Amino acid sequence: MPARPPRDFRGVVVALPTVAAAASYGLHALVPNNDPGLQSNFYPELILLVLAAAVVFAAWARLLPRFRPSGVYAAPLFTAAIITVAIWDLVTTKLALLPMPYFPGPELVLQGLVDDRWVLLESTFYSFRLLFCGYALGVLAGLTSGVLMGWFRQVRYWGMPIMKLIGPIPATAFVPLVMVMFDEPFFSGAALIALATWFPVAMLTSSGVANVPASYFDVAKTLGAGRHFLVFRVAIPAAMPNVFIGLFMGMGAAFLTLIVAETVGVRAGLGFYFKMQKDYFEFGKVYASLLIMALFFSGFMTLLFKIRDRVLGWQKGVIRW
Amino acid sequence: MSKTSSSIYEPLDDASGLSIRGVRKVFCGADGVEVHALDGVSLSIAAGEMVSLIGPSGCGKSTLLRLIAGLDYPNSGELRVGSKPIEGPSAERGLMFQDPNLFPWLSVRRNVQAGLVARGVLRERRHEVEEFIRLVGLEPFANVYPHQLSGGMAQRAALARALVNHPKVLLLDEPLGALDQFTRMQMQDEVLRVWQARRTTLLLVTHDIDEAIYMSDRIAIMTPRPGRLERVLDVPLARPRQRNSAAFLELRAQILEMLNFAGNGKPKPAPSSPATSAKPE
């Protein structure tokens, strides 16, 4: 007896986001707000926008005569995101199951985003500037000291103990010290982020350089290589996979240090905005800034992954982002 | 193949013979025991000649090759290329290992170029890179990274990389040892073709008696602990050689006999004993 071919659900799958968006719009319109004084404007508008997007998406994914695999792949995630926000709306704005004002609904977060858009943009810019300066400085210092320690035994002998002592201290422990060392909080913040970034980058770079297989150097020497070639054309490229692990670890440490620095000393940026709005009990704006942070940090990570894919294109079987 | 008009086939320098005289190399083991890797080895190789070094594991073949490459130094004795003593690694002595050791972060083309980059002559000689890639038959794979190559292709790329500096002496350390039988026979012809076209002096370390007979002008047989040159045999067979000719098989039997592996009742040499058995001179 021939087996029945598996049923094709792709048509249903690509229509799911549309159904979910329509349902969450209906839910929002039918269930009354718990707080009668709350005007919901932005959230229903957003759902309508998402609904339109879902219809376009369905049409694109079902482009006749074939389905687009990437569309079929993305549809369940898209649907889940819409449903999650609808549930969030239901348990906060509609049913008030969570204590206020700590858990605002999507409407309040959207209002916060729209009301403070310029402040948020400015804060993002300040955070970006601080993170970029600190991270770049830390990477530069980490790569330089890492290569020197990996290549020269003497530098490793004297440098390793210092790095082993200072490196593991969380950079945030230095906050009180650094804040009094620099007049300008921007410099103290950048110095802290640089310190946090430096340790993992230096550590991984030096171990990468020190562990390059000797046979690569042997081959290079019989090809007529001098020291410059051995360092810059053999040791450093061979250490690159390690260096990137250090860069990722350093970036995580830099995010953490950025937010701490902005919360306790630097009077600008997303961390500062976050703390200020929390003190004002403006929790809609608190979550709005969290949302921006999520996009901001994720964007940085994505950028680093893109650079990694470019530089380490020769590797096989690397983690995708 | 008659590609001899091309610029990569320069006439062979007379000063590219290799002379090794009374070379000793002693390694100090971790437990302080001295291991005599090479004990008074002498060998002369004429310019353009191909000599195979064969012998059981631990007889110092690879050590000798490293000394010639200049990657290590003898405790005593003398190594010369032409009349120049060997004082360190140099582009005039190309080296190729069993592991192709291609730089994994460079494409095939950039691996082949590496020698030109290292010597700072890429600009003047870039045109030769494509010729060497063609010589080893890798034109379609010039832009591919090493991890995408098969074992045989990777060895071809390593060969092209070793040739790009026009080395006077080419040192091959079991270059085909990791390949399957068919790829290996094919690569033997490949190396022969390149050697005949380029006429470098070539020293080939191998475990494979057939390979040594098929390829080389002379075969140097080494014995282990301490590493010594036992005998040097001429291979009086005309090229191209027949792997199944009577003369080939007779020579093969003769070498097996010499190494006590003929299986005619004579005792085989003891299996590898630990380093402690190394006796001082």
Nearest to A202 by CA among A279, A137, A147: A147
Distance from C-alpha of A206 to C-alpha of A144, rounded to nearest angstrom? 9
Closest residue on chain B to A235 (Cα): B103
Position B196 pLDDT exceeds 70: yes
Could you tell me if residue B133 is inside a domain?
A: yes
Q: What is the pLDDT of residue B10?
A: 56
Give yes or no for B69 touching A (CB within 8 A).
yes
Flag the least confident range among A24-38, A78-92, A192-206, A281-295: A24-38
Position B246 pLDDT exceeds 50: yes
Count of CA atoms in the C-beta half-sphere (13 A) of B150? 9
Nearest to A171 by CA among A98, A253, A247: A253
Cα distances (Å, whole numbers) of residue A25 to A28, A30, A83, A112, A179: 5, 9, 11, 21, 50
Could you tell me if residue B11 is inside a domain?
A: no
Q: How far is B75 from chain A (nearest CA, A)?
A: 20
Query: Cβ of B105 and A219 within 8 Å?
Result: no
Quickly state the pLDDT bin for B200 (edges 50, 70, 90). confident
Rounded to 5°, the CA angle A228-A229-A235 comes to 100
Distance from C-alpha of B68 to C-alpha of B50, rounded to nearest angstrom? 15
Q: What is the pLDDT of residue B70?
A: 92
Distance from C-alpha of A21 to C-alpha of A48, rounded to nearest angstrom? 8
Q: What is the pLDDT of residue B8?
A: 59
Which phi and psi angles does B26 have, rounded to 5°?
A: -115, 130
Query: Cβ of B90 and A220 within 8 Å?
Result: no
Domain with B94, as residue range(s), is 16-274
Position B55 pLDDT exceeds 60: yes
Could you tell me if residue B258 is inside a domain?
A: yes
Quickly state the pLDDT bin for A19 (edges 50, 70, 90). very high
Domains of chain A by start residue, with CATH: 10-103 (no CATH), 117-311 (1.10.3720.10)
Per residue in A127-162, pLDDT tens? Answer: 999 999 999 999 999 999 999 999 999 999 999 999
Cα distances (Å, whole numbers) of residue A110 to A47, A54, A95: 12, 20, 19
Could you tell me if residue B281 is inside a domain?
A: no
Quickly state the pLDDT bin for B14 (edges 50, 70, 90). low
Closest residue on chain B to A226 (Cα): B118
Distance from C-alpha of B149 to C-alpha of A36, rounded to nearest angstrom? 69
Q: What is the pLDDT of residue A321?
A: 61
Could you tell me if residue B8 is inside a domain?
A: no
The rounded mean pLDDT for chain B is 84
Position A98 pLDDT exceeds 80: yes
Distance from C-alpha of B190 to C-alpha of B121, rounded to nearest angstrom? 27
Closest residue on chain B to A229 (Cα): B118
Task: Tell me the three state secondary structure of residue B18.
Answer: strand
A:B CB pairs within 8 Å: 76
Q: What is the pLDDT of residue B273?
A: 44
Position A235 pLDDT exceeds 70: yes
Give yes or no for B165 touching A (CB within 8 A).
yes
| Beta-carbon count within 10 A of A72 CB | 16
Q: How far is A220 from chain B (nearest CA, A)?
A: 8
Query: Cβ of A215 and B161 within 8 Å?
Result: no
How many separate domains does chain B show? Answer: 1
Query: Cβ of A222 and B97 within 8 Å?
Result: no
What one-character-per-residue DSSP string does B21-85 give?
EEEEEEEEPTTS-EEEEEEEEEEEE-TT-EEEEE-STTSSHHHHHHHHHTSS--SEEEEEETTEE
Which phi and psi angles does A300 have, rounded to 5°?
A: -60, -45
Query: Cβ of A222 and B118 within 8 Å?
Result: no
What is the identity of the amino acid at A263? Answer: T
Question: In B, which residues are within 8 Å of A216 by CB distance?
Answer: 101, 103
Give the CATH number for residue B244.
3.40.50.300
The distance of Cα A286 from the centroid of its chain, to the nearest Å, equals: 18
For chain B, percent of residues with pLDDT exceeding 90: 32
For chain B, percent of residues with pLDDT exceeding 70: 88
The distance of Cα B218 from the centroid of its chain, to the nearest Å, equals: 13
Q: How far is B102 from chain A (nearest CA, A)?
A: 8
Closest residue on chain A to B170 (Cα): A222
- Judge contact between B35 and B25, C-beta under 8 A: no
Give yes or no for B114 touching A (CB within 8 A).
yes
Position A293 pLDDT exceeds 70: yes
Question: In B, which residues are within 8 Å of A242 by CB distance?
Answer: none
Chain A positions contacting chain B at CB under 8 Å are 213, 215-216, 218-226, 229, 233-234, 237-238, 240, 312-316
Query: Cβ of A216 and B103 within 8 Å?
Result: yes
Query: Cβ of B104 and A223 within 8 Å?
Result: no
Tell me which DSSP letter residue B10 carries: P
Cross-strand bridge partners of residue B229: B222
- The alpha helices in B76-139, defined as continuous H runs, are 108-119, 122-135
Question: In A, which residues are within 8 Å of B160 by CB distance?
Answer: none
Query: Cβ of A219 and B95 within 8 Å?
Result: yes
Distance from C-alpha of A246 to C-alpha of A237, rounded to nearest angstrom? 14
- Judge contact between B165 and B198, C-beta under 8 A: no
Question: In A, which residues are within 8 Å of B99 by CB distance?
Answer: 215
Q: What is the pLDDT of residue A214?
A: 92
Out of B101, B103, B118, whose CB is closest to A224? B118
Q: What is the pLDDT of residue B204?
A: 93
Across the range B145-163, mean pLDDT stands at 90
Closest residue on chain B to A237 (Cα): B105
Q: Say what the ipTM of the complex is.
A: 0.84
Task: For tokens 């709306």, name the residue.
Answer: A89
Order of all β-strands in the sheet with B50-54: B93-96, B169-173, B201-205, B50-54, B218-223, B228-234
Could you tell me if residue B34 is inside a domain?
A: yes
Q: How far is B116 from chain A (nearest CA, A)?
A: 8
Across the range B105-123, mean pLDDT stands at 93
Q: What is the pLDDT of residue B239?
A: 84
